[in-house]
């Protein structure tokens, strides 16, 4: 089970390249190093199961989570490319895709975001992040957040499955979001939906979450 991960949220201009590289080294290359270690023996034994804790943000990018989403997209692409070869050797690969999970991971991330220096971006972007994104994120976590124990139960079900699924989403609230993206290959539908949700109907969003 690969579960290592770090987060990053905020305006792109305010994040250093070094911090981005460090995040990718943990979230993506950490997984790659693990798989390189365990896969050869699994292939020799013609049996095994690699379970990767991914994220719903590996399927859909979320505003101000550019680099974190990129790392999870990389995880998803890596596993999607590898799964067919692995099946030839009777090795299963499963991606567990949670939405918000209420842990110290998220608490620390948002505390750091509130203290960060946004002088390297324009005032409008800083205002959108601090007054729209951070405020709405707290409501999302309070309303839709899962416990670590819940994610562990989902992961256990994936491990014990007779035919392990390749993808398993833990929160049904995010299924429509993933479906919306696949419904329109041009990307216009989901882009417009998120734009309206963030910039036009954010008050309705907060009210519905509460």
Strands 167-169 and 48-53: unpaired
Enter the tokens of residue 147: 């416990």
Give 32-36 contacts, CB < 8 A, sequence gap 24+: 32/78, 34/2, 35/2, 35/82
* Contact of 137 with 202, CB cutoff 8 Å: no
Q: How far apart are CA 31 and CA 158, in angstroms?
A: 18
* Contact of 6 with 114, CB cutoff 8 Å: no
The residues, ordered by sequence, that sit 6+ positions from 2 with a Cβ below 8 Å of its Cβ are 30, 31, 34, 35, 50, 51, 52, 53
Enter the tokens of residue 22: 């460090």
Enter the tokens of residue 11: 């305006």
Clarify whether 68 is annotated catalytic.
yes
Angle at 58 between CA 191 and CA 93, to 5 degrees: 145
- Residues classed as catalytic: 68
């Amino acid at each position: 089970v690969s579960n290592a991960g770090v987060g990053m949220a905020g305006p792109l201009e305010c994040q250093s390249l070094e911090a981005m590289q460090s995040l990718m080294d943990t979230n993506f290359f950490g997984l790659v190093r693990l798989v390189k270690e365990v896969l050869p023996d699994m292939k020799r034994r013609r049996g095994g199961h690699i379970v990767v804790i991914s994220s719903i943000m590996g399927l859909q990018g979320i505003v101000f989570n550019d680099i974190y989403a990129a790392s999870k997209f990389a995880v998803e692409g890596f596993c999607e490319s590898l799964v067919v070869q692995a099946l030839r050797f009777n090795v299963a690969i499963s991606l567990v895709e949670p939405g918000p999970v209420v842990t110290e991971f998220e608490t620390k991330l948002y505390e750091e975001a509130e203290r960060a220096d946004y002088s390297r971006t324009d005032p409008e972007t800083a205002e959108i992040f601090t007054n729209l994104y951070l405020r709405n994120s707290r409501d999302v976590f309070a309303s839709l957040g899962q416990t670590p124990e819940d994610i562990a139960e989902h992961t256990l079900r994936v491990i014990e499955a007779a035919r392990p699924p390749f993808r398993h989403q833990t929160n049904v609230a995010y299924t429509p979001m993933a479906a919306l993206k696949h419904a329109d290959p041009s990307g216009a539908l989901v882009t417009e939906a998120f734009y309206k949700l963030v910039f036009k109907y954010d008050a309705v969003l907060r009210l519905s979450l509460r």
